[in-house]
Amino acid sequence: MRRRGLGALELRKRQGEAVKYNEFSNDLAKSQAEQFKIQREIFKTNLQEFARKYLKDIRKDPQFRMHFQKMCSNINVDPLASNKGFWAELLGVGNFYYELGIQIIDVCLSTRVGNGGLLELGELKRRLEKMRNASGSSASIQEISEDDIIRSIKTLKPLGNGFEILQIGNRKMVRSVPRELNIDQSSLLTLAQERGYITKEIVASSLGGWSTERIDNAIDNLLADGLCWIDTQANPHEYWVYSFFDGMDDENDE
């Protein structure tokens, strides 16, 4: 039996269809992209209108501000991207975060000697609020949330190494020293969260397999970095994490 090949005519017809399909799909994609662009523009315009309308709430209410930030980032609009940008000018949010950033630096540096450059996020927030309440007139006081602080710290990134947020156990800690906490140090800090301190015995029994040298070395590092204080009146010696001690420094900045 002779296999029937495609006729030349048939072939040409199919090629033509393929071209047409291609054209059609290109057109479709183009128009969809157009459509999307238009929609995005509309959304952006709406967002701007929304922002204008709720300007006060965005400035005042940290919860509202967080949701607004999320909405913006969904469409790749970053109100913080430029200080001169439309958003920053409209909302003044750029300034808000930069100002907060400076205050964060201030608090972190002034507490660094005691805590070795590791400050709990909640504690940082309390100190910031105190500072802002003291310096601003009542009209300019804006509430801040932990989300604001985290955003603000991200805007400090271009200033180089230093500020970073670490998750240690269930606490968020702000690190303001330009050095990495090594894995051993982090493990010890996580362990210290339970009691506020550790002893070499606790480390040995909780983190199985650590040699005496490794424990000594990691603890010496914590002491040398100023993250821990030693209590030689306890038997065995206890190593206390300064920034885990509740209420520290509260009364010390009148």
Partner 1 sequence: MASFKFPTIHKFPPFYSFQPTQSTWQHQVAHWSRIILLYFRHYRLYRLELSESLNSELFYNKTIKRRLNLETLQAIISEMVKEGTAEWDPPNKKISAIIYWRKPEEWATLIYNWVFDNGMTNSILTLYEIAHGEITEGLGIYAYQSVLLKALDVLVKRGQAQVFQGTSADDMGVKFLV
CB of 189 to partner 1, least distance (A): 16
Query: Judged by CB under 8 A, which of 62, 114, 162, 169 binds partner 1?
Result: 114
Nearer to partner 1, 67 or 130 (CB): 130
Query: Judged by CB under 8 A, which of 61, 146, 164, 231 binds partner 1?
Result: 231
Scanning 65-73, 187-195, 211-219, 231-239 for contacts with partner 1 by CB under 8 A, the matching segment is 231-239
Nearer to partner 1, 111 or 187 (CB): 111
The set of long-range contacts for 60-65, using a CB threshold of 8 Å and a minimum separation of 24, is: 60/142, 60/143, 61/143, 62/143, 62/144, 62/145, 62/147, 62/148, 63/145, 65/93, 65/145, 65/147, 65/148
Is residue 234 part of the contact set for partner 1 (CB under 8 A)? Answer: yes
Question: Which distant-in-sequence residues (6+ apart) come within 8 Å of 151 by Cβ?
Answer: 69, 80, 97
CB of 171 to partner 1, least distance (A): 18
Is residue 200 part of the contact set for partner 1 (CB under 8 A)? Answer: no
What are residue 113's DSSP bridge partners? none
Separation between Cα atoms, residue 105 and residue 100, nearest integer Å: 9
Separation between Cα atoms, residue 221 and residue 180, nearest integer Å: 12
Question: Which distant-in-sequence residues (6+ apart) come within 8 Å of 226 by Cβ?
Answer: 112, 113, 114, 115, 116, 117, 242
Separation between Cα atoms, residue 132 and residue 120, nearest integer Å: 18
Is residue 140 part of the contact set for partner 1 (CB under 8 A)? Answer: no
Separation between Cα atoms, residue 149 and residue 225, nearest integer Å: 25
Nearer to partner 1, 18 or 234 (CB): 234
- Provide the b/e sequence for 74-101 (b: ≥16 CB within 10 Å): eeebebbeeeeeebbeebebbebbbebb
Nearer to partner 1, 85 or 114 (CB): 114
Query: Judged by CB under 8 A, which of 6, 11, 141, 223 binds partner 1?
Result: 223
What are residue 120's DSSP bridge partners? 173
Is residue 230 part of the contact set for partner 1 (CB under 8 A)? Answer: yes
CB of 118 to partner 1, least distance (A): 13
Scanning 9-17, 80-88, 154-162, 225-233 for contacts with partner 1 by CB under 8 A, the matching segment is 225-233
Scanning 71-79, 93-101, 165-173, 244-252 for contacts with partner 1 by CB under 8 A, the matching segment is 244-252
Provide the token pair at 152.
């603000």
Provide the token pair at 149.
């602080």
CB of 181 to partner 1, least distance (A): 16
Is residue 249 part of the contact set for partner 1 (CB under 8 A)? Answer: yes
Is residue 229 part of the contact set for partner 1 (CB under 8 A)? Answer: yes
Binding interface with partner 1 (CB under 8 A): 113-114, 116, 197, 223-224, 226, 229-234, 238, 240, 242, 245-252
